[in-house]
Structure 1
Amino acid sequence: MKKMDDTTRQNLGMVSKMIYGNWMQQCTYAFAELAMADVLKEAPKTHADLSRELRLNGAYLKQFLRCVDELGYVSFNKQTKTYALTDVGAILGSDHPYSKRAEARLNGAEYRYMPWGHLVSILKNGNGKEYSPTVENGTLDFLQDKPQLLEVFHEAMFKIWKTEDAKIVEAFDFKPFKKVMDIGGGKGSFLLSMLEQNNHLEGVVFDLATTFDEGNLSEENQLAGDFFNEVPDVADLYTMKNVIHNWPENKTKQIVNNVRKAMLSTNGIDTPIGDKRMLIIENILPDDGTGDISNWMSLNFMILVDGQERNREEYKELGEECGFHLEKIYATDTNRQIIEYSLL
């Protein structure tokens, strides 16, 4: 056999890492789900300490600790026989300023992880509804009777965007507008960023009533409802961040058409119809097929909820089909871009 060159060796290593990547992802999920970073935060602990405090099988835990040590989440001291939390592992702690714990718990949860195991069948069928419980009615509907998972979902969404919302807001001029409605805005991180940077602006989050339980918003910033039924006509700026990629094409158009009806109304606010705007904030697929996080996001949404990301032309077509003109696309200091629409 021909001697292996360095390039081939590197390529083999990379492919092997990809083949077994699910092992690493699930160890990361388990580390976060068990709150192991929280347990190790104050002081290093022995294998026996961790087994007792976390109520885990000792033999299985020993194998797990070797793997999370290799991932860099803990370090083992041979002299003291203790495991210490590393700076990397601390990121999976609950109170880290840039905590990724909720995100790891969300992405490793069975309802999000298992459908990926049926990717070949989903590619053949053109739909994941046989394998993903969130395809038919969306993630929030599926989680309504699963309070612990719902809490993790909202926490992950809030923390993912806590540091990035402000960067998105900086990329758009809100001065011409009086009141903004953030549709499907969850716990309100994006609305709060808009209001903090624009003192003149009033605003509400429009979302399901259950979303507001023990939330971060005051009552005056909450408006409960279902955007598939109607969107209230109380604003002159309507925003949707990370919303329409969660729905199949027919439901996406239903949401956008309901926004159009609200913008056409002259009852709720005295801003001229031609000055009202809709902003869609999403990843935009590259037109030339280059590598981008949006490629992965789009596949994930197709698998889980029959949704998708779109390229610039597809956003233009979506708007026109629903009675909107694409005014401009704004780059932000994040992966997301702002797509501004006016009424046709």
Structure 2
Amino acid sequence: MSSTAPHPAQLIVDLGFGFILSGALAAVTELGVADRLAQGPKSPSVLAEELKVDASSLYRALRLLASAGVFTEDTEGRFGLTPAAELLQSQVPGSLRDAVLMLTQKIFWAPAGEMAETIRTGETPFARIFGKPFFDYLASDAAAGATFHRGMSSLSDMENGPIARSYDFSPFHQVVDIGGGHGGFLVEVLQSAPKLRGVLFDHSHVLSESRIAKAGLSQSCEHATGDFFEAVPSGADVYVLKRILHDWNDEDCVRILRNCRSAMAQGGRVLVIDTVIPPGNAPHGGKVLDVMMMASLPGRERTEADFRKLFAQAGLQLSRILPTPTAMSITEAIAA
């Protein structure tokens, strides 16, 4: 055992307490503490007065987060920002405020708290807890849906550029981003290949917050609404599925992939951008995400063998897997 590794007993205890850190992080993020510290350290009493909260409770939460490297307490008892805490500010480049609010939503932590049921039955308790399956619930609850989609955009912002630059889009004519959300990834793709035309495909309530116009790409990118289980825009030579297939079971994934296979131009490509879980015991972001999906959604993260099987059932074949600087990989498929 490494000298820096925790004692086995301490490791178990620390893991058991993990949700407390998540709760404290969610709370100070929701309250906007980081924005209040942008101009410099403040005491808990000053912060509490500004935020209209209990000073003692705020101090205790900040003290815990400071021990984890989020915020720092000086010798005068004032709290300031660390590089990690700076990312909780709402208006800074690369802000993860919306991502934290999304990841710590009740839609994720409530089902995770009942994971024994999921393991016993193989089914998520989400519909029992919230009355509807995951995406039906988001469509019916405007606030939860907005938090989710803004959080996904925030989480994606730190990965979109590096992923887009990991694939050469320049030989192609048109790319369709299936379930592309607010368009953050498609913006990076179109900026990397100026001659490429784009289609951002999603539900209308999602496209209402599209970033395409703000990025100055309205002339080279159109919006299309629809349901990827029914059909996708036809005639493109690249179809992107970023963080889409991991939301769904194998049968639904095959339906989506078949629709892409039917729609794509001759010589086209389907790019699945999800984690590809490697063998072995090493930590990997896909392993955490996979269990999160298991608790709340019918989907999963997949291995290379899993993707080969899905593609084969959809009339496609895996051509290559490209790593990116993120935990995500680009899994490319062509017509079988």
TM-score by length of 2: 0.88
| Structure 1 residue 152 displacement after superposition | 2.8
Partner of 1:318: 310
- Corresponding position: 1:104 with 2:105: no
Contact kept, 8 Å, 1:111 with 1:132, in 2: the verdict is no
Partner of 1:73: 70
After superposition, where does 1:32-71 map in structure 2 within 5 Å? 32-71=29-68
| Structure 1 residue 51 displacement after superposition | 2.3
| Structure 1 residue 36 displacement after superposition | 0.7
- Corresponding position: 1:182 with 2:177: yes
- In the alignment, residue 171 of structure 2 is paired with which amino acid? P
Counterpart among 282, 288, 291 of residue 274 in structure 2: 282
Is the alpha carbon distance of 1:9 and 1:25 closer, same or farther for their aligned partners in structure 2, counting shifts above 3 Å? closer
Partner of 2:192: 197
Contact kept, 8 Å, 1:32 with 1:101, in 2: the verdict is yes
Is the alpha carbon distance of 1:133 and 1:285 closer, same or farther for their aligned partners in structure 2, counting shifts above 3 Å? farther
Contact kept, 8 Å, 2:284 with 2:327, in 1: the verdict is no
- In the alignment, residue 143 of structure 1 is paired with which amino acid? L
Task: Look at both structures and tell me which one has the larger radius of gyration over its CA atoms.
Answer: 1
Contact kept, 8 Å, 1:76 with 1:82, in 2: the verdict is yes
Separation in structure 1 between the aligned mates of residue 311 and residue 130 of structure 2, nearest angstrom: 26
| Structure 1 residue 221 displacement after superposition | 2.6
Separation in structure 1 between the aligned mates of residue 131 and residue 335 of structure 2, nearest angstrom: 30
Partner of 1:339: 331
Contact kept, 8 Å, 1:69 with 1:75, in 2: the verdict is yes
Contact kept, 8 Å, 1:116 with 1:303, in 2: the verdict is yes
> C-alpha deviations, 1:107-130, integer Å up to 9, x for none?
111111111111111100111135
Alignment gaps of 5+ in structure 1: 1-5, 264-270
Partner of 1:226: 227
More moved, 328-337 vs 202-211: 328-337
Separation in structure 2 between the aligned mates of residue 316 and residue 109 of structure 1, nearest angstrom: 33
Contact kept, 8 Å, 2:248 with 2:299, in 1: the verdict is yes
- In the alignment, residue 287 of structure 1 is paired with which amino acid? P
Separation in structure 1 between the aligned mates of residue 229 and residue 5 of structure 2, nearest angstrom: 52
Count of residues in Structure 1 that have an aligned counterpart in Structure 2 = 329
Is the alpha carbon distance of 1:65 and 1:296 closer, same or farther for their aligned partners in structure 2, counting shifts above 3 Å? closer
Contact kept, 8 Å, 2:88 with 2:96, in 1: the verdict is yes
> C-alpha deviations, 1:170-194, integer Å up to 9, x for none?
2323233210001011011111111
Is the alpha carbon distance of 1:133 and 1:316 closer, same or farther for their aligned partners in structure 2, counting shifts above 3 Å? farther
| Structure 1 residue 38 displacement after superposition | 0.7
| Structure 1 residue 342 displacement after superposition | 1.5
| Structure 1 residue 288 displacement after superposition | 4.3
Is the alpha carbon distance of 1:62 and 1:331 closer, same or farther for their aligned partners in structure 2, counting shifts above 3 Å? closer
More moved, 320-329 vs 286-295: 286-295
Alignment gaps of 5+ in structure 2: none
Contact kept, 8 Å, 1:133 with 1:142, in 2: the verdict is no
Separation in structure 1 between the aligned mates of residue 131 and residue 303 of structure 2, nearest angstrom: 22
| Structure 1 residue 306 displacement after superposition | 1.5
Contact kept, 8 Å, 1:44 with 1:82, in 2: the verdict is yes
> C-alpha deviations, 1:213-248, integer Å up to 9, x for none?
132113643111111121121412111011000012
User: What secondary structure, in the 3-state scheme, does the structure 2 residue paired with 1:45 have?
Assistant: coil
User: What secondary structure, in the 3-state scheme, does the structure 2 residue paired with 1:278 have?
Assistant: strand
After superposition, where does 1:134-283 map in structure 2 within 5 Å? 137-139=133-135, 141-218=136-213, 220-263=221-264, 271=265, 273=266, 275-283=267-275
More moved, 326-335 vs 190-199: 326-335
> C-alpha deviations, 1:182-215, integer Å up to 9, x for none?
1011011111111111111101111011111132
Is the alpha carbon distance of 1:58 and 1:289 closer, same or farther for their aligned partners in structure 2, counting shifts above 3 Å? closer
For the aligned residue pairs, the C-alpha RMSD in angstroms reads 2.5
> C-alpha deviations, 1:234-291, integer Å up to 9, x for none?
412111011000012222122112212212xxxxxxx5x2x11111111111134543
TM-score by length of 1: 0.87
Counterpart among 23, 28, 44 of residue 26 in structure 1: 23
User: What secondary structure, in the 3-state scheme, does the structure 1 residue paired with 2:12 have?
Assistant: helix
Separation in structure 1 between the aligned mates of residue 286 and residue 131 of structure 2, nearest angstrom: 20
Is the alpha carbon distance of 1:68 and 1:164 closer, same or farther for their aligned partners in structure 2, counting shifts above 3 Å? closer
Separation in structure 2 between the aligned mates of residue 61 and residue 286 of structure 1, nearest angstrom: 41
Contact kept, 8 Å, 1:29 with 1:108, in 2: the verdict is yes
Is the alpha carbon distance of 1:39 and 1:208 closer, same or farther for their aligned partners in structure 2, counting shifts above 3 Å? same
Contact kept, 8 Å, 1:329 with 1:338, in 2: the verdict is yes
Contact kept, 8 Å, 1:138 with 1:247, in 2: the verdict is no
Is the alpha carbon distance of 1:149 and 1:56 closer, same or farther for their aligned partners in structure 2, counting shifts above 3 Å? same
Is the alpha carbon distance of 1:18 and 1:138 closer, same or farther for their aligned partners in structure 2, counting shifts above 3 Å? same
Is the alpha carbon distance of 1:276 and 1:11 closer, same or farther for their aligned partners in structure 2, counting shifts above 3 Å? same
- In the alignment, residue 258 of structure 1 is paired with which amino acid? N
| Structure 1 residue 105 displacement after superposition | 1.0
